[in-house]
Amino acid sequence: MEKILLVDDDEMNRMVIEMVLSEVGYKVVSASSGEEGIALLSDARFDLLLLGFGMAGMDGLETLERIREKPEISEIKTVFLMSASQMADTTEALRLGAIDFIKKPALPGPLIGTVRHALLTQDRESVLAVDDEPMQLMATEELFGIRYRLRCASSGAEALEEIKREKPDLILLDYHMPEMNGLEVLRRVHKIEGCENLPVVFLTAIDDVDMEAEIFKAGAMDFISKPFVMQVALQRIRRVLELKHLQDSLQDEVNRKTRALQESNQKIKKLSNQVIRALAGAIDAKDSYTNGHSIRVAEYAREIARRLGKSSMELAEVYNIALLHDVGKIGIPITIINKPGKLSEEEYQIIKSHTLTGYEILKAISEMPELSIGARWHHERFDGSGYPDGMMGADIPEVARIICVADCYDAMSSDRSYRKALPQSIVREEIERGKGTQFDPRIAEVMLQMIDDDKSYKMNGSRGQVVLNE
Ligand SMILES: [Fe+2]
């Protein structure tokens, strides 16, 4: 729970603020004078100080001045409570490092908003002042040194070194400097890795009408022209820093959301793959002889696609499409699938229907429309004599042409209900013979290369599953 110290000599005001802030979950400790407040601050850790401006005796400014002199409590974030007339000049309060102001009497909405924002504001931000005139640097240090952690550099080169040593939250930059002017410094700063969006505010005498445009074009966040009003300068710097913090937290949020989205996409992808594998397993389990057929066909098809130079995304797609090419067999009676002898014409027609049944099943998965392609067209033949549509040549989707070769290869190289796996040389001859008639010659050629590379006939269905390239 965040702890707030409230220092004000107006009892009614203290009661109201304490009540409002306690209600929204802050722990509030009250003091009725500056002295009492300093004593409490020295005794315990607080996250924020709400300080009455015009208190009797030691007023708010004097209290804050004393706090700033005590190193152990000097960093406390401070918000002043002020009447409307006191708010006319906040220069000294800002110089002493006040983060914000609350107008008295404090209304719950603005009070809670200001406190929340002040608690989110970072501790004293670091500012790098760059100016070639020592007097000017001294004046800047005097004016901004209490509010910010100020470092100074007397030239562009020195500034670049300082930034590389420790990145500041903001740069106050002079325009007219010998050797490297402010504009050049700005360009070089934004080229440093991690400093691409580092806020730069020009603090300079504008003596050229085009200079202002040039400064903004180069990527400056603001410029303060000399001579300037202290209060205005402090407010403008504060605004720039607030904007930067907002941008950073927005970027963090975008990054977080993007990561979450990527993780959830990964999960969905993993789940889809698991469902596809489970479905392929269910098809293969139906056929006691060809167990593992779908996975083997998917492996061969992926290897063919790899040798055809497909991308890794395409390989994953080919694999999944091939895994489900026979999904329509789910609708075929087990007695027909596992029949040892020759099929009757009627039974053959039923077997053939697995292409269209598979297509209808997979078409329903609208998020992955490509899945249905393999199921429908893997029994098409290159010469147009296949089924179910009698498509020909390049009209048959390439993935179906790949699966066709892989499917026939596995049918021949694994045991069937009516025969044992064929010898590798016979399988090779059959693939060779089917070039241009049953198979796309280019794809059949790739399959032939795979057979030739497989000297000991490892690519056969005897072990249920074949894992290539692992
Ligand atoms: Fe099939």
pTM metric for this prediction: 0.56
**Span 292-329, pLDDT tens digits:** 889 999 999 999 999 999 999 999 999 999 999 999 99
Query: Quick one: average pLDDT of 66-92?
Result: 87
Statement to judge: residues 145 and 105 lie in one domain: no
| 292 located within any domain | yes
User: How many angstroms does the Cα of residue 354 sit away from the middle of ligand 1?
Assistant: 7
**Span 192-226, pLDDT tens digits:** 998 988 999 998 877 677 888 888 888 999 988 88
Is residue 355 classed as helix, strand or coil in its secondary structure? helix
| 113 located within any domain | yes
Statement to judge: residues 69 and 216 lie in one domain: no
User: How many angstroms does the Cα of residue 374 sit away from the middle of ligand 1?
Assistant: 9
User: How many angstroms does the Cα of residue 64 sit away from the middle of ligand 1?
Assistant: 84
| 265 located within any domain | no
| Residue 165 pLDDT class (50, 70, 90 cuts) | very high
Statement to judge: residues 333 and 401 lie in one domain: yes
Answer whether residue 467 shows pLDDT above 60: no
Statement to judge: residues 41 and 92 lie in one domain: yes
User: How many angstroms does the Cα of residue 249 sit away from the middle of ligand 1?
Assistant: 55
> Does residue 430 contact residue 412 with C-beta atoms inside 8 Å?
yes
What dihedral angle (degrees, nearest 10) is formed by the CA atoms of 44, 47, 52, 53?
A: 120
Query: Quick one: average pLDDT of 19-31?
Result: 95
Question: What angle is formed at CA 389 by the lines to CA 374 and CA 371, rounded to 5 degrees?
Answer: 20
Rounded CA-CA distance 400/378 in Å is: 5
User: How many angstroms does the Cα of residue 435 sit away from the middle of ligand 1?
Assistant: 19
Residue 438 domain boundaries? 287-463
Tokens 């802030």 — which residue?
A: 21
CB atoms within 10 A of CB 32: 17
Statement to judge: residues 418 and 305 lie in one domain: yes
Query: Quick one: average pLDDT of 75-82?
Result: 91
Statement to judge: residues 361 and 221 lie in one domain: no
User: How many angstroms does the Cα of residue 304 sit away from the middle of ligand 1?
Assistant: 18
Statement to judge: residues 297 and 228 lie in one domain: no
Nearest to 432, CA basis, from 444, 449, 424: 444
Statement to judge: residues 99 and 195 lie in one domain: no
Query: What CATH number is associated with residue 228?
Result: 3.40.50.2300
Q: Please, where are the H alpha helices in 179-292?
A: 182-191, 209-217, 230-286
In the chain, % helix, strand, coil (3-state, to 5) comes to 55, 10, 35
Statement to judge: residues 296 and 192 lie in one domain: no
Average pLDDT along the chain: 89
Statement to judge: residues 26 and 135 lie in one domain: no
User: How many angstroms does the Cα of residue 399 sit away from the middle of ligand 1?
Assistant: 14
> Last residue of a domain, which of 120, 135, 151?
120
Lowest pLDDT segment from 30-34, 89-93, 148-152: 89-93
| Domains held by the chain: number | 3
Statement to judge: residues 353 and 447 lie in one domain: yes
Question: For position 263, what pLDDT does the model report?
Answer: 93
Statement to judge: residues 116 and 130 lie in one domain: no
Question: For position 123, what pLDDT does the model report?
Answer: 67
User: How many angstroms does the Cα of residue 378 sit away from the middle of ligand 1?
Assistant: 7
